[in-house]
Structure 1
Amino acid sequence: MSPSDAQLERLARRINWLDRFRRPLSILLAAISAPLFLWWVTGQAPSEWPGAHMAGLAIVVGVFAWYGIETFMGFVIAVWETDYSKATRRGLPRAELVRRRK
């Protein structure tokens, strides 16, 4: 069963939107997750830990979170593009034998 034109159009819009906003969205999510991680770790860590170490740890976690989110979004885009390509492909063209003159 092939998807309808409306479903293909919606999938194409999703691909374009996520491809356009992937970088800002992943940076925003990483910028939100790093302070949340810092808040969680400061409650778990001993009180003698310096604040600079915690801030450095939060920055590193933010960079890793950005990389992971960006990679996951790239994977989602690749899966959607593959689905779109398979849905719009109409099959191979008919093979024709061409005889060459000698």
Structure 2
Amino acid sequence: MSTPPDATTRPETAITVRYWASARAAAGVASDELPAAAPLPLATVLARAATLHAGTRLPDVLKVCSVLVGETPVGSADAEDVLVAPGETVELLPPFAGG
């Protein structure tokens, strides 16, 4: 479930994960705030997001998503090598038709 920001989870101490299209439908929320005291590998961020929504289609949807960290596309970079700092946003965009 989504964790709303509060006194213990501020943007400086959390990574925002935003879900788009079928990822949003699978998660059942538009975004999550993941507590983080230091930069985390993108692979860890994705694993934590999947764990938050265990029992849904989200873990499978995440496998096919395009990922942006801030406004930067991750592309084919290894998710273990991409660091996401507290205060940053990870955008998860599944493939979709049209556009």
Q: Which has the larger radius of gyration?
A: 1
TM-score, normalised on structure 2?
Answer: 0.23
Where relative contact order (Cα < 8 A, 6+ residues apart) is larger, the structure is 1
**Structure with greater strand percent:** 2
